[in-house]
């Protein structure tokens, strides 16, 4: 259950960047379709996977190629999958990985355990907030020769990066829209950091699914729930690079598509830390992200009745990694 023909962390056997633009499958299960980004899994299905891993690999590959970096510093909350993502990517490229954490007991968390198994080192700070850890990461990187910082949420912040870099970053994920079936009229997207959402919308602009009418965003993270303006802001930056307006297509008021936002976190349905498993026809969802969306849909069937059809696609951004799967 992976698009990788060879599953190995060894660059002498396989180069992960060769799969950055290979389409992940679209499959029909039950009543709807699913885009299986969880099958972007270089170490197998139970290992690190998903669209955010793809972005992580793209960033590190770019740094290695252009700057010949010796390592990456990263900081995020203990429960973030960012930790095994960057640790595995650094191990694949043979460079160092230093993770800033605010938890003295960080090894009690699975994602941190996996990062350590993958070779990461840790710097324990006195504060555990994501943005504070990012700031600490930048300070640490200045003390280390030829190191880059993986920004919190695996992104490229518009305050820290030029516009063309934003466009390049989202262009990688945009490619995944290419194999959306022509009959799809509704796309449902989990909406956490919103970086995957922006990439998908960029791809919709580029490759224009023929019958698409509705885009449903499910707010399950800070940006997706409380800072939804992040999406048009990023699209405006991409528009400035392209020299043409793409963001107005996705306006909530009068865009080309009907944009619907269900704010799961902000309305009290759940919090980010809640774990909500869901199994749909054998497809097991990430309990912190997609699982919440599926539970919400199941409990609010009337709201989704007109959109839950044979012409609907649910975008699986990734699944929960539970093993390092260190193939030689």
Q: What pTM value is reported for the model?
A: 0.95
| Helical H segments across 1-151, by residue range | 51-67, 82-93, 110-117, 130-143
Q: 101 with 228, same domain?
A: no
Question: In this structure, what CATH number is given to the domain that contains residue 145?
Answer: 3.40.50.1100
Residue 122's closest CA among 85, 76, 91?
76
The whole-number pLDDT of residue 104 equals 72
Which burial class, exposed, middle or buried, applies to 301 when counting CB atoms under 10 A from its CB (0-12, 13-18, 19+)?
exposed
Q: 171 with 269, same domain?
A: yes
Q: 278 with 244, same domain?
A: yes
Residue 60 lies in a domain: yes
Q: What are phi and psi of 55, to 5 degrees?
A: -65, -40
C-alpha 185/C-alpha 249 separation (Å) is 16
Q: 188 with 83, same domain?
A: no
Residue 144's closest CA among 73, 248, 240, 61?
73
Report CA-CA distances (Å) from 181 to 27, 246, 256, 269, 290. 10, 22, 19, 32, 21
Residue 7 lies in a domain: no
Q: 237 with 304, same domain?
A: yes
What tens digit of pLDDT does each residue of 13-70 get? Answer: 999 999 999 999 999 999 999 999 999 999 998 899 999 999 999 999 999 999 999 9
Q: 171 with 300, same domain?
A: yes
The whole-number pLDDT of residue 327 equals 62
What tens digit of pLDDT does each residue of 193-220 get? Answer: 999 999 999 999 999 999 999 999 999 9
What is the residue range of 245's domain? 16-46+162-316
Q: 62 with 30, same domain?
A: no
Q: 312 with 193, same domain?
A: yes
Distance, C-alpha 308 to centroid of its chain = 24
What tens digit of pLDDT does each residue of 247-287 get? Answer: 999 998 889 999 999 999 999 999 988 999 999 999 999 99
Largest CA distance in the chain: 57
| Mean pLDDT along residues 171-182 | 97
Confidence of residue 328 (pLDDT cuts 50, 70, 90): low
What tens digit of pLDDT does each residue of 74-132 get? Answer: 998 888 899 999 999 999 999 999 999 987 777 788 899 999 999 999 999 888 788 89
Q: 61 with 114, same domain?
A: yes
Residue 6 lies in a domain: no
Tally of structural domains, the chain = 2
C-alpha 311/C-alpha 325 separation (Å) is 36
Domain end, chosen from 93, 119, 150, is at 150
Residue 326 lies in a domain: no
């Amino acid at each position: 259950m992976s698009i990788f023909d060879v599953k190995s962390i060894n660059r002498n056997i396989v180069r992960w960047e060769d799969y950055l633009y290979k389409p992940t499958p679209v499959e029909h299960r039950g009543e709807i379709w699913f885009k299986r980004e969880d099958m972007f899994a270089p170490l197998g299905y139970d290992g690190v996977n998903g669209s955010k891993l793809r972005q992580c690999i793209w960033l590190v590959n770019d740094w290695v190629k252009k700057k010949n970096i010796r390592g990456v510093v990263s900081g995020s909350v203990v429960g973030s999958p960012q930790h095994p993502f960057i640790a595995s990517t650094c191990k694949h490229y043979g460079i160092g990985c230093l993770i800033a954490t605010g938890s003295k007991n960080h090894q009690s968390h699975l994602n941190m355990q996996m990062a350590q198994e993958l070779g990461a080192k840790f710097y324990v700070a006195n504060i555990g907030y994501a943005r504070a850890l990012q700031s600490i990461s930048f300070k640490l990187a200045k003390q280390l020769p030829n190191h880059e910082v993986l920004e919190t949420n695996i992104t490229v912040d518009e305050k820290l990066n030029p516009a063309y870099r934003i466009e390049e970053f989202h262009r990688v994920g945009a490619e995944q829209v290419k194999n959306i079936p022509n009959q799809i009229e509704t796309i449902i997207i989990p909406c956490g950091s919103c970086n995957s959402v922006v990439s998908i919308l960029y791809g919709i602009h580029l490759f224009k699914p023929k019958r698409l009418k509705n885009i449903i965003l499910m707010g399950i993270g800070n940006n997706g729930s409380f800072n939804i303006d992040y999406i048009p802001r990023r699209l405006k930056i991409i528009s400035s690079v392209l020299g043409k307006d793409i963001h107005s297509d996705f306006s909530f008021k009068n865009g080309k598509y009907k944009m619907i936002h269900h704010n799961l976190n902000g309305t009290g349905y759940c919090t980010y830390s809640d774990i909500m498993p869901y199994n749909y026809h054998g497809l097991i969802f990430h309990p912190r992200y997609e699982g919440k969306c599926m539970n919400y849909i199941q409990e609010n069937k009337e709201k989704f009745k007109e959109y839950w059809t044979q012409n609907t696609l649910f975008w699986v951004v990734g699944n929960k990694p539970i093993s390092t799967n260190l193939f030689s």
